[in-house]
């Protein structure tokens, strides 16, 4: 009798041990030491990238750079490759700011989008403070584009060649380049960039072109004309600087599809979703919905190649300085804590 009870206890102990093994085995543990996939890794499973812009002053913030280097698959220099930074004096080039970001990205195995070659803003005084003949400005523009593109050849996968070329009503923006050279400066810029790097993807980039409307129609018409003339153009960058008070661009996916039908890639290149401060739970929930929706729109269109947020934390957002009383535009707060928007993006990418 005692032997049987001992045997029963042994069987019970063995059964308990087996249950423990089953409960804590590979299926139950699911590699507790393994990090969850990053946004960059989740996007890569869809054949896309998920990236962030960054700027040189914040690279001294080690907590910031640790997250920047680990969470994203792509980086855009916010200011370091713009004309004022790269050619501060005529014919004198300085790539130090852009190189710092490109080198950081390369060390972290991240792709880099070049930003930007031709833009009406942040130009050096030597360029804006002089009347140029068409021949002079063409020469200056060609040299600038080709010198910068050659310097970064093989180091960036895409360039925003011309940035913000149209007004809201779809007319050409009266820039120094348009006024002196006419609308042909855009085709020339694309051709010169292609000569300097035959492999880089060439984009036109703008804001308020997420929805179908006069401004995005202007890009659609221009893109069709450029393709017909065999001008090298690979994609359209939709900046996607959105604001809750103006409503969500509900025709975003339709818009991405029509550019895809022209044989063009698209990318959401400078995403943020600002709000009137203070931020409330309700506004943050709505913001999260918008981030989810735009991520899903990109995933739904095969030729939408990726998404870049315009920096990832409210700590370094450009919004409060340019839109007083607005902010809280990014998926991480000022303490680098993920907001509902971050979780919504993850949900969409899963």
Write down the residue that tokens 């050279």 correspond to: 181
CB atoms within 10 A of CB 59: 14
Q: Which of the following is catalytic: 100, 164, 168, 225?
A: 164
User: How is residue 268 annotated by DSSP?
Assistant: E
CA 160, chain centre distance (Å): 11
Q: Which of 64, 45, 160, 53 is nearest to 110 (CA)?
A: 53
Question: Per residue in 227-245, is it b (16+ CB within 10 Å) or e — as a string?
Answer: eeeebbbbbbbbbbbbbbe
Q: Which residue has the tokens 């080709």?
A: 146
> Per the structure block, which two tokens stand in for 306?
């990726």
Q: Cis (ω within 30 of 0) for the bond into 278?
A: yes
Is 164 tagged catalytic?
Answer: yes
270 is catalytic: yes
Query: One of 254, 270, 281, 282 is an active-site residue; which one?
Result: 270
Which positions ≥6 away from 17 have C-beta within 8 Å?
Answer: none
- Half-sphere exposure for 13 (CA within 13 Å, toward CB): 6
CA distance 179 to 214: 21
Give one word for 30, left, alpha or beta, with left for phi > 0 and alpha for psi -120 to 50.
left
Which residues are catalytically annotated? 164, 270
């Amino acid at each position: 009798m005692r032997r049987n009870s001992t045997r029963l206890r042994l069987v019970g102990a063995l059964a308990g041990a087996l249950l423990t093994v089953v409960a804590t085995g590979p299926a139950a543990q699911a590699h507790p030491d393994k990090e969850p996939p990053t946004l960059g890794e989740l996007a890569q499973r869809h054949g896309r990238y998920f990236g962030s812009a960054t700027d040189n002053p914040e690279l001294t913030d080690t907590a910031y750079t640790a997250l920047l280097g680990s969470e994203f698959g792509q980086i855009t220099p916010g200011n370091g490759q713009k004309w004022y930074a790269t050619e501060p004096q005529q014919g004198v080039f300085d790539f130090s700011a852009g190189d710092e970001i490109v080198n950081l990205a390369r060390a972290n195995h991240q792709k880099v989008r070049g930003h930007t070659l031709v833009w009406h803003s942040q130009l050096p005084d030597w360029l804006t403070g002089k009347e140029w003949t068409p021949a002079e400005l063409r020469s200056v523009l060609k040299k600038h584009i080709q010198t910068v593109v050659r310097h970064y050849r093989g180091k960036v996968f895409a360039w925003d060649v011309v940035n913000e070329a149209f007004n809201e009503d779809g007319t050409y923006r009266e820039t120094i380049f348009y006024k002196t050279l006419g609308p042909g400066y855009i085709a020339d810029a694309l051709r010169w960039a292609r000569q300097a790097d035959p492999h880089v993807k060439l984009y036109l980039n703008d804001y308020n072109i997420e929805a179908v409307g006069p401004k995005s129609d202007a890009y659609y018409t221009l893109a069709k004309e450029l393709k017909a003339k065999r001008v090298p153009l690979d994609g359209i960058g939709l900046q996607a600087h959105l604001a809750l008070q103006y409503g969500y661009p509900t025709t975003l996916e339709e818009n991405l599809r029509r550019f895809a039908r022209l044989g063009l890639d698209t990318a959401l290149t400078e995403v943020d979703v600002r709000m009137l401060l203070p931020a409330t739970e309700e506004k943050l929930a709505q913001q999260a919905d918008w981030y989810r929706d735009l991520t899903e729109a990109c995933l739904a269109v095969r030729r939408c190649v990726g998404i870049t947020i315009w920096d990832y934390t409210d700590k370094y957002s450009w919004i409060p300085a340019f839109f007083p009383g607005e902010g809280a535009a990014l998926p991480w707060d000022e303490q680098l804590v993920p907001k509902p928007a971050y979780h919504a993006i993850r949900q969409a990418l899963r």
